[in-house]
Structure 1
Amino acid sequence: MTDSYTELRLSSAMSFLQASSTPEELANEAGKLGYKSLALADFGGVYGIPRFVKACMDVGVRPIVGAKLHVDMRSVFASPRPEAQSKPPEILLLCETEKGYENLCELLTEGHATQEKGECVVDLQTLERLKEGIVALVGGCEGPLFLAKTKEQTYGALVKLMSIFGRSNIFVDIQRHNDPEQEHKNRLVMQIAESLNVRSIATNDVRYHKKERGRLFDCFTAIRRHQTLDDCIPYLEKAHMRYLETPRNMIQRFHDFPELLRNTQKLSERLAFSLSRVPYRFPRFTEGDEFQLLRDLVAKGIKERYKEVTPKVENLVNHELDVIKRLQLAGYFLLVWDIVKFCKDNGILAQGRGSAANSIVCYALYITAIDPVAYDLLFERFLSEERGEWPDIDLDLPSGDAREKVIQYVYEKYGRRSVGMTATFITYRQKGAIREMGKVFGLDPARIEKLADMVANFEFPDEPDIIVQSAKEVGLDLEDRRVLAFLWAVREAQDLPRHLSQHNGGLVICGGRLDRVVPLEPARMKGRTVIQWDKEDLADLRIIKVDLLGLGMLSAISDALKLVERHYGAKVELASIPPDDKEVFQMLQKANTVGVFQVESRA
């Protein structure tokens, strides 16, 4: 019998209400328990993979990358149909190679493309087309074999999936949760798998890192079903066994099936894909010499910006260009320049902000309007070889249609499958957690709403006693077990992800197919897609984003500049506005700043 075990069916809270522990909690627990390797496969995406990989590496656990999705198998289950299910069967896909990862990302993109938010379904033809480099696990309580109503359906489903993936790339994973009905189904499925020479493996379908977190998983199940805990009892776990067990305990659980344990380890050793091989590259702006083009544009801009090009200006330009050349970032600056040029050509005011103002290259390209020489600004605050960070240029644009026109220009120029908005993960904050958990436990709505109104909307209090005292003040009985469980659930839900949203303006642009680097999902706004990683994930993976931020005040400034030109015949450039206008300073001294952006209040 093997003396090691790898959990290959594990979901995190990045599955959005389908698990109740973060990727970091699962990785850290795996390190404590002595795991050598561990797979993460969240539903519908690779949302948690970057942070999972990082956390695993920190504790010496080898991470394995995967995801779960639904498969439309109506042709297989044509007659008789399986028991009524609201969703199609689910399969788990693990990446063996770099090609497998690219195919997984594309599968997930296809799965989201035509579905409602939060759903991911592919058909068998798409699965067939994008199967290379992927290993499929088809067991599990939500898988096609366990949802099948008859032995014939189970056999037919396995035959069909085997014909797609091949016998060596499909495995039936078995869980054992002290459930007699599950055990009966396990025996049937393993018999069918053996008859087809398909290997079975052992998994635990992990949804939380510690047993006690199973209670929160029950709460999330009730939230998903829009029911109270009492009403969804048939759908809750009979025992909270889907936590990360020790390898020794998993080996003991399957002691009578040593072959499953051996198969599990052999498979885990095959899954060698590393996220360090993510196939991202920045798009080439031109097939010619990008750096020479950048140098020419900067030289032209410097002559326009400065009446006299002093040695100090020349030295600063050469220094910045040398750094940009060594870091191979000419294409990035050209891309941002092109967006600014599009704005200028279309009468859209665009203004670079932040540390980009420290760059004379950005000033020469008209990305920013601040002369870094005049104000003796330090370029290394913006871009430094020693820091090892990518530059971050934020472009402020007038909010509304003008900004959307710029965003759509980027999509059209680089391709719909090569551009995506950066994600942000909406997490549980106190007010939302109180409202949702109040419904889960069937507490009085009026008291729950009053409690939600009493607490801060953005932060959890540092002292647990605050919410307890507030609950007492609104009339909740602190001796009621339901109330105590409610308060516990509110605290445990802190910072766990609720759903995916999109960043204010971060755009990721890829040379080639972005949907082979990270899956894309349709955004709420028509014509946009959102990737499955946030800005921290992108920074960890060294993927560059461009921020196109909508600013209502910039719309007002743009309108003001047009009015000045119309009524006074003067064309005003932001860079030409004097920084020492006496009347402006007199206005500031009098605090007559209502309506003046960024200085109208103490904040």
Structure 2
Amino acid sequence: MYLNCHTYYSLRFGTFSEVALLELAKENSIQALVLTDINNTSACLNFVRKAKDFNIKPIIGIDFRNDNDQLYVGIARNNEGFRELNQYLSYHSEKGIKLPEIPTVIFNHCYVIYPFEKVLQLEKTEFKPYEFIGVSVEELRKLRFSKLLSYKNKLVIQQQVTIRNKRDFNAHRLLRSIDKNCLLSKLDTSEECLITDKMYPLETLKETFMDFKFILANTQHILDTCTIDFSFGNHRISQNLKLYTNTFNEDYELLERLCYQNLKKRYSNPSPRVIKRLKTELHTIKTLDFVSFFLINYDIVSYAKSKGYFHVGRGSGANSIVAYIIGITDVDPIELDLYFERFINPFRASPPDFDIDFSWKDRDDVTAYIFKRFKHTALMATYNTFKYRAVVRELGKVFGLPKEEIDKLSKGNYTLSNLDDISKLVLRYGKLIEGFPNYLSVHSAGIIILEKPVHYYSATDLPPKGFPTVQFDMIIAEDVGIFKFDILGQRGLAKIKEALEIIKTNRPEAQDIDITNVEAFKADKNINQLLKSGGAIGAYYVESPAMRGLMQQLQTDNYLGLVAASSIIRPGVSSSGMKDEYIRRHCNPEKRKDAHPILMQIMPETYGVMVYQEDVLKVANQFADLTLGEADILRRGMSGKYRSRKEFLEVEQKFISNCRNKGFNDDLIFEVWNQIKSFAGYAFAKGHSASYAVESYQSLFLKCYYPLEFMTAVLNNGGGFYSAEHYLHEAKKQGAKICLPCINKSDHPNRLIGKSIYLGFGYLKNLETYNVQKIITERQLHGNYKSLDDFIDRIAISIEQLTILIRINAFRFTQKHKTELLWQAIFKLNAMGTKSQQAPLFKIQHKQFKLPKLKTNWIENAYDEMELLGFPLCNYFNLVNEQMIDGILAKDMKDYVEKKVVIYGSLVTTRFNKTVQGKLMRLSTFIDKKGNYFDAVHFSGVVDQYPINGLGVYACYGTIKDRFGFYSMVVVSSKKMAILPDPRNATESVHKTVNRIS
């Protein structure tokens, strides 16, 4: 009897979830229910999925509104009707067109219900067969005296359900105030629902409408004639594009042909093991109907290769020899002994994950190709929910609290007993609204390619990316049998591609580089030495302090070691203690005997320690005798995508029971099980780690043999873990000369000429992009600028913008000091007055001004660089204005283990973390006077007492620790060193610069 129900996916309007709606219906003896969120279908699929658990017939539709003006409610009679409604809403949503007061299309599979008041307002007298008039409990008394009473076959119950009780109503009003960005006291009642917009018990509703039995009958007719089905759960079927060619047999023959055509490219002399693995995979892919999934991924990668785009294929699909042979991935599953059942097995209902990375510059073109190539395509959505601190701030504004009070509440700086009633309300409703969906966004990578039109499943929006986006997330998608294709963008591939382009320009003598020759890179001792020594700054995935430190601890000098390191650094492995145990057994072979014999037999390569997701499946299968189907439940649980804990808990009990039956003691059983649980949502598949390692080796090759070209490319693609300033420091260590922007040699990005890196104009944040474009275009068309006068003649520019270029010494080719040039620029531009944008017909004769000799020094330049670039080109140690007592260098740390020492360090990066006890700590990386790295830890006792306030040199006093041969400092105290004042205005400049560096 309820044809107009909302959930909190009626964004900033509804007050509970789709599951809570079903629970409410169950409590009120409702057997059929229509979900109609406002201009949104996000909850529809899960509503249908969960309804069977409550023995309720699900029906879905859309509440069509312009702002809060309810126009009509559309109800789908069947799946085709849902498509009609979605298509209608999407047309208006994507084009930004207001919905008409009466639909402009004919619905063949839907019912349309106009609210009672809207019909009166429109004076609508004619109704199509599928159109009805909705009457609420509140409106029933008006109906008795209305001319609409004569439309007996058109009247139905439209009792809107938005709230359950007074608390929900209060939350609803707060959500509406947040949505309208107004004080609660200023919220117009037209923006609210009614306090009566709730669900009544079925018998109560029937009694209310007892005098209008024809209304009850009409409503029941709608409920009886609607049905929707998506074949969920164990009965789901794949909704992805089923055929790549014309028939399934053609698809399989194509996949098989591609494999055997490309086999020799990957294996010059294929062994029986390779052939057997290939045949097994092809058979399984065919049996599970994943053929088109592989061919679509192959198509996407083939397009990218045809355009010269680099890619990395990773995810669980990297365990596949089929994917390796046809070029989706570059990871050899035979070399790495990758576990086939992690990739795919007869119990797996979903295809494997193929996360395909492209350069951030190429990804949009690849996405556009997919939309052009495949007919029924959309981007996946994700829900951005209200976070507690953010919603407390919003509610504080709604209640009109002062900023200081809002800050105090959102940061938790209060004692509950000292708060007034309004503040307590903010906190109470903040907890209630926390987790509600706030708005829909685009999934970072997911694209869906369907057999049927997208609107069979969802309405679509058109976000700034310009591609239609569905209104459900990946978890809902998998439930209904829609499996996404992950197309990601990353900067690591862009760095590799641009480095190769710079090499061609800067070192034409270099032979053509085959960046795909990873096998040669793996065997190169010089490249492996970079890993072992922590010299991987700039290389994708291996440059962070934690990763470099780990590789120094492990003395990683080979591909397999890097694959393991890529996985054990993940939070699941690290937090469970398996990371330390792996390092201990790796560094001390005698410790390997501590492993349980069965675990050692299962995982000899990792010394009996679970490192990869495959290890969990192997342990579940071989240690606990779980079936592959049961092990697959563990896999889904570890992926972070798992929706229900019920099956997972059943597998846990089976794991424990089986182990006890095998005679294992509980200490061992629960130790192993707790390690398995720690993997949830974090651990990598081995093939995934291996894919990352391939790209790392490509970066390391360039860093090793073409370091300046590589570092320039790193800088031009947004860097990575560190700041631009630090990558410039690394480039200096590799022999580069860092040059300030130059009018005649710089471009918008950095430019390498020989061994000189000319900083790009892009670093000058206050220099307008339009001026940069003019400067470069004019130079390309008419040659270098000969003087300041020549520049002023050719470029129309304000004195403020020209001052930036002069102060950064971009005119140093003139051999004149910048102070003199500044005065000359002021005189000349003032003398010229307003300059036309059009080039002059005749060259202007500039008046020459004679200036006295002006004194300057290098400290002034450093201050200008800090202001304009954000950092100085000189070493921070040169700017220190305090006496530095004797301290040690980073290379000496090994001689002072467990001793307290001082090291002076220039800050590279710092970040907060939490201890096992949940206390705050700080991890920092510095470089010493000689440019060598050292790491320092501020534990909770000193993290607040000795803060790190921005870039600069710090005197770090603490104890040296040795962790598997990697040395770091536990800070006891630290102090930021004062710097030299700006001689142009010492007192003021010290203050400004300290703030600037901070």
TM-score of Structure 1 vs Structure 2, range by shorter chain: 0.7 to 0.9
Q: How far is 1:279 from its partner?
A: 10
Q: Distance in 2 between matches of 1:138 and 1:574?
A: 67
Give the 5 Å matches for 1:576-591: 576=519, 578-579=521-522, 581-591=524-534
Instruction: Select which of 388, 395, 400 maps to 1:430.
Output: 388
SS of the residue aligned with 1:259? Answer: helix
State the Cα deviation string for residues 518-567 of structure 1 (Å, max 9, x = none). 222112123x1111111011100011211100111221133345556763
Q: Distance in 2 between matches of 1:87 and 1:211?
A: 21
Match of 1:483 in 2: 423
Contact 1:356–1:382 (Cα < 8 Å) also in 2: yes
Match of 2:965 in 1: none
Contact 2:153–2:214 (Cα < 8 Å) also in 1: no
Instruction: Select which of 91, 105, 111 maps to 2:72.
Output: 91
Give the 5 Å matches for 1:356-505: 356-400=317-361, 402-415=362-375, 418-452=376-410, 454=411, 467=412, 470-472=413-415, 478-480=419-421, 482-505=422-445
Q: How far is 1:88 from its partner?
A: 5.9
Q: Verify: 1:506 aligned to 2:446, yes or no.
A: yes
Match of 1:205 in 2: 160
Match of 2:539 in 1: 596
Match of 2:148 in 1: 193
| % identical aligned pairs | 23
Match of 2:295 in 1: 334
Q: Distance in 1 between matches of 2:526 and 2:211?
A: 87
Q: Distance in 1 between matches of 2:204 and 2:141?
A: 22
State the Cα deviation string for residues 472-515 of structure 1 (Å, max 9, x = none). 49xx96232x2222111111111111111100121111235223
Q: Distance in 2 between matches of 1:204 and 1:26?
A: 14
Instruction: Select which of 272, 294, 306 maps to 2:227.
Output: 272
Q: Distance in 2 between matches of 1:369 and 1:335?
A: 17
Q: Verify: 1:56 aligned to 2:51, yes or no.
A: yes
Which amino acid is the alignment partner of residue 139 of structure 1?
Answer: P
State the Cα deviation string for residues 237-266 of structure 1 (Å, max 9, x = none). 586332333223323443443432333223
Match of 2:629 in 1: none
State the Cα deviation string for residues 441-485 of structure 1 (Å, max 9, x = none). 111123314543x2xxxxxxxxxxxx4xx3449xx96232x2222
Match of 2:796 in 1: none
Match of 2:115 in 1: 139
SS of the residue aligned with 1:230? Answer: helix
Give the 5 Å matches for 1:273-312: 273-276=228-231, 280-282=239-241, 284-287=243-246, 289-312=250-273
Between 1:198-207 and 1:11-20, the stretch displaced more is 198-207
Between 1:24-33 and 1:372-381, the stretch displaced more is 24-33
Instruction: Select which of 55, 68, 89 maps to 1:108.
Output: 89
Give the 5 Å matches for 1:13-52: 13-52=8-47
Q: How far is 1:209 from its partner?
A: 4.2
Contact 2:58–2:227 (Cα < 8 Å) also in 1: no
Name structure 1 gaps, 5 residues minimum: 1-5, 72-85, 455-466
SS of the residue aligned with 2:439? Answer: strand
Contact 2:152–2:215 (Cα < 8 Å) also in 1: no
Between 1:492-501 and 1:558-567, the stretch displaced more is 558-567
Between 1:205-214 and 1:324-333, the stretch displaced more is 205-214
Which amino acid is the alignment partner of residue 550 of structure 1?
Answer: G
Contact 2:239–2:480 (Cα < 8 Å) also in 1: no
SS of the residue aligned with 1:67? Answer: strand
Q: Distance in 1 between matches of 2:167 and 2:346?
A: 46
* Structure (1 or 2) with the larger CA radius of gyration: 2
Which amino acid is the alignment partner of residue 420 of structure 2?
Answer: E
SS of the residue aligned with 2:275? Answer: helix
The alpha-carbon distance between structure 1 residues 94 and 34, as it changes in their structure 2 partners (threshold 3 A), is same
Contact 1:172–1:198 (Cα < 8 Å) also in 2: no
Which amino acid is the alignment partner of residue 218 of structure 2?
Answer: N
* TM-score where L is the length of structure 1: 0.83
Contact 1:564–1:571 (Cα < 8 Å) also in 2: no
The alpha-carbon distance between structure 1 residues 509 and 577, as it changes in their structure 2 partners (threshold 3 A), is farther
Q: How far is 1:32 from its partner?
A: 3.4
The alpha-carbon distance between structure 1 residues 185 and 561, as it changes in their structure 2 partners (threshold 3 A), is farther
Contact 1:211–1:240 (Cα < 8 Å) also in 2: yes
Q: Distance in 2 between matches of 1:585 and 1:140?
A: 76
The alpha-carbon distance between structure 1 residues 254 and 123, as it changes in their structure 2 partners (threshold 3 A), is closer
Q: Distance in 2 between matches of 1:451 and 1:564?
A: 55
Q: Distance in 1 between matches of 2:517 and 2:437?
A: 41
Q: Distance in 2 between matches of 1:426 and 1:97?
A: 30
* TM-score where L is the length of structure 2: 0.51
Q: How many residues align?
A: 536
SS of the residue aligned with 1:219? Answer: helix
State the Cα deviation string for residues 269-300 of structure 1 (Å, max 9, x = none). 11122233999451532225111011101111
Q: Distance in 2 between matches of 1:187 and 1:275?
A: 41
Instruction: Select which of 316, 325, 329 maps to 2:286.
Output: 325
Q: Distance in 2 between matches of 1:253 and 1:485?
A: 36
Q: Distance in 1 between matches of 2:116 and 2:319?
A: 55
Match of 2:495 in 1: 556
Q: Distance in 2 between matches of 1:45 and 1:541?
A: 18
The alpha-carbon distance between structure 1 residues 185 and 556, as it changes in their structure 2 partners (threshold 3 A), is farther
Contact 1:283–1:511 (Cα < 8 Å) also in 2: yes
The alpha-carbon distance between structure 1 residues 536 and 577, as it changes in their structure 2 partners (threshold 3 A), is farther
Q: Distance in 2 between matches of 1:524 and 1:438?
A: 30
Q: Distance in 1 between matches of 2:384 and 2:109?
A: 32
Contact 1:352–1:367 (Cα < 8 Å) also in 2: yes
Q: Distance in 1 between matches of 2:341 and 2:165?
A: 45
The alpha-carbon distance between structure 1 residues 197 and 246, as it changes in their structure 2 partners (threshold 3 A), is closer
How big is the alpha-carbon RMSD for the aligned residues of Structure 1 and Structure 2? 2.6
Which amino acid is the alignment partner of residue 386 of structure 2?
Answer: Y
Q: How far is 1:583 from its partner?
A: 3.8
Q: Distance in 1 between matches of 2:68 and 2:168?
A: 26
